Structure 1
């Protein structure tokens, strides 16, 4: 008898290497330029890259006399385009320990705060579609910001797709929002402490803490 009936993974920082701060900042500045704003406060750029709620996006847009929806469409498009470029040029790619997922007997899924279409691209480009029975990223809209982790909205949808109760599933992530989303949904969590989150202090302890994906098969068995 296995410990879990399903495993759901975050994507960036867990399955594939995360985008770098400079790439995200460049994409954000380019989005402002596309809307006619040549100079943007770096603090605003950093805030948008870190992730903000929809109301904060609207506040920042008012500061630059921009309509929120058109700006956000530009931001989403430039951010995603910059990610596609880095995947294609080899700057970003899957972690070497991703092969551990192939050994799992349980059905697997992905839930990410990244764009749904970006997750779709990653699965197709790196030929990973066969490993995951369901996947969810965020729709490219301001409204979807309220549904991203630590909200458990997409985790619940993935669990429904896999026909697994929350208490019988494990969520594997690399951020505090991942741990919180899992626990709020009723799932156990595994925090992967990779280089980019080596010094992160969590306000809530994960069920497990691991150095990489190689530890997941043993946990779920």
Structure 2
């Protein structure tokens, strides 16, 4: 079984925190005034093409800016966890009852994912984990690209699995990897209206455990 991290195992980062980290990155490379739509583009899932266009607008070298952005973003996330502004979900403990080998695949930085697993003593639950490297190229590999999901499946010697996520891109990535998906309706995505259909649609990780154990879950099949 494979799990997303932010919004599944731990609470997701706040948009305001990510925006502040992005402003800090711009300041580091000499830009004090940034258009709101550029901040929004970076926070909500910037592509390589978007990043190139944004950096051109401010006469910045993309590699230099992205290095600064990733540094400040990772720092802000660690600070949020240490301050208690972000935490793990209470139902994560139920994953210890799973008999299947498990892994984590996240669009967050690999180093941030390692920090989270260590801070909340989650490492024993998972055989493998992948986040993206702090490079521009990693933007091409993040979900919905199934690249990291496929790497994790290879580590687990599995060609069938469940991927548990909280976003439409998670469902698409699972489908592209040829595995079933679980859309987990945490509070931040409780009323999300998806344009894709997950294999299962549930509200807690306890539902996921029941699915993995082969038990029925009321209304867990996607609507």
TM-score range, shorter chain: over 0.9
1:1-221 equivalences in 2 (<5 Å): 7-165=1-159, 168-221=160-213
Q: Deviations over 1:163-196 (max 9, x none)?
A: 011xx20000000000000011100000001111
Ranges in structure 2 where 5+ consecutive residues have no aligned partner: 214-223
Q: Deviations over 1:99-158 (max 9, x none)?
A: 111111111100000000000010111111101000000110000100000000000000
Matched residues in 2 for 1:162 and 1:156: separation? 10
Matched residues in 2 for 1:218 and 1:38: separation? 51
Following superposition, the deviation at residue 199 of structure 1 comes to 2.4
Greater relative contact order: 1 or 2 (C-alpha under 8 angstroms, separation 6 or more)? 1
Q: What is the TM-score with the length of structure 1 in the denominator? A: 0.95
Following superposition, the deviation at residue 52 of structure 1 comes to 1.5
Q: What is the TM-score with the length of structure 2 in the denominator? A: 0.94
User: How many equivalent pairs are there?
Assistant: 213
Corresponding residue for 1:4? none
Asked whether the 8 Å contact 1:194–1:211 carries over to 2, the reply is yes
CA RMSD of aligned residues (A): 0.7
For residue 124 of structure 1, give the secondary structure of its aligned residue in structure 2.
Answer: helix
For residue 164 of structure 1, give the secondary structure of its aligned residue in structure 2.
Answer: coil
Q: Deviations over 1:55-86 (max 9, x none)?
A: 21011001001000010000000000000001
For residue 137 of structure 2, give the secondary structure of its aligned residue in structure 1.
Answer: helix
Asked whether the 8 Å contact 2:41–2:50 carries over to 1, the reply is no
